[in-house]
Amino acid sequence: MSQNPQQLLQKYFARQCSRAELEELLDYLQAHPEAKEYEEVIQQIWQELRGTQPLSSQQSEALYQQISARLPLRRTVLTWKIAASVAGILISSVLVYYFWANSTVIQTAGFGETRTIVLPDQSTVVLNGNSSVRYNRQWQADSPRKIWLEGEAYFSVQHLANDQSFTVFTDNLTVEVLGTEFNVQSRRGTTQVTLDVGKVKLNALGDSPGEIADVILQPGDQAILTKDLSFSLTKVATAPVTAWRNNELVFNETPLEIVAQTIEDLYGIPVIIQSDSIRQLKLTGTLPNNDIDTLLALLSEIFGIQARDEGGQIQLRE
């Protein structure tokens, strides 16, 4: 750690942390055995690292007051002390390795690419384009395995002898498993879970409907929870859903407007549809997941339209 944790936390509440320092502080707080006491700080730092609006000075002070009021006055391996305006942290140098081993790892896949990640338990995650996961660098044998997802990923989870649980967190849903293979897509406020092998349990988060709790999926089930709290459970063919792992996007009577949203999500380029007649066209076929030029050429050929990248925007016009 390049700086004392006390200094980093003080700089954070004073709104003076650089991005590298934010990452360092997030790693530290996630690793601390009492990190739950600082959950609001952890979540806020995570949001700021994703590029959302940081706290104002007034919001930062209010957040500090909220967490400091709840901190327990007890001694542990590390002692947390509250100063007059910021939280101070005392840490022994002999625990440096402990913090490194339990620090947070953030893995990402860029626009138009896929990436395979091996987790601490040897489970694997394949990230789709414009997606990321975060998790602790090491997982303890007596603790649940937890991972947070932004975007889309395919999970192949190892079943362990002690039935250690494995939970995927999205913005509005948790997916809990023991050992299975499944796809999770979390974009635009909607989470879609498609089960390939095994069994998973779903629980809604936040203000989502209470009935979406302990929903059990069987192979071939697809559950969708939208940002307006609409929930559906259907049977699907899983191969088209997970074809992106082979750099393919499979569509079946899909409105071009939805295809455009998929392109935006994966390639990070805004898609402008110039007319309602184009917007209502439906696509049945396969497009590449890793080659935007070929994708646009195929759209032009299939529909007889112009599909071009013009100045950082994809234009679809007659």
Q: What dotted CATH number matches 103-238?
A: 2.60.120.1440
Q: pLDDT for 145-203, tens place per residue?
A: 999 999 999 999 998 888 889 999 998 899 999 779 999 999 999 999 999 999 999 98
**Number of CB atoms found within 10 A of residue 264's CB:** 16
Q: Which residue has the higher pLDDT, 314 or 96?
A: 314
Instruction: Give the pLDDT band of residue 27 (cuts 50, 70, 90).
Output: confident
* Residue type at 85 in one-letter notation: S
At residue 86, the pLDDT reads: 40
Q: Which two tokens stand for residue 244?
A: 């992106």
User: What pLDDT does residue 208 have?
Assistant: 67
pLDDT for the residue numbered 67 = 52
Closest CA to 15 of 61, 68, 72, 77: 61
Provide the β-strand partners of residue 105.
135
Give per-residue pLDDT as tens, 246-304: 999 999 999 999 999 999 999 999 999 999 999 989 999 999 999 999 999 999 999 99
d(CA 184, CA 168): 9
CATH topology of domain 247-317: Phage tail protein beta-alpha-beta fold (3.55.50)
Per-domain residue ranges for the chain? 5-100, 103-238, 247-317
Q: What average pLDDT score do residues 232-259 get?
A: 95
Backbone angles phi, psi at 109, to 5 degrees: -120, 130
Residue 105: how many other CB atoms lie within 10 Å: 16
Question: Residue 110: is its pLDDT beyond 60?
Answer: yes
pLDDT of residue 137: 86
Which secondary structure element, helix H or strand E, spans residue 250, and what is its range? Answer: strand 248-255
**With bands split at pLDDT 50, 70 and 90, how would you rate the model's confidence at 30?**
low
Phi-psi region of 206 (alpha: psi -120 to 50; beta: other; left: phi over 0): left
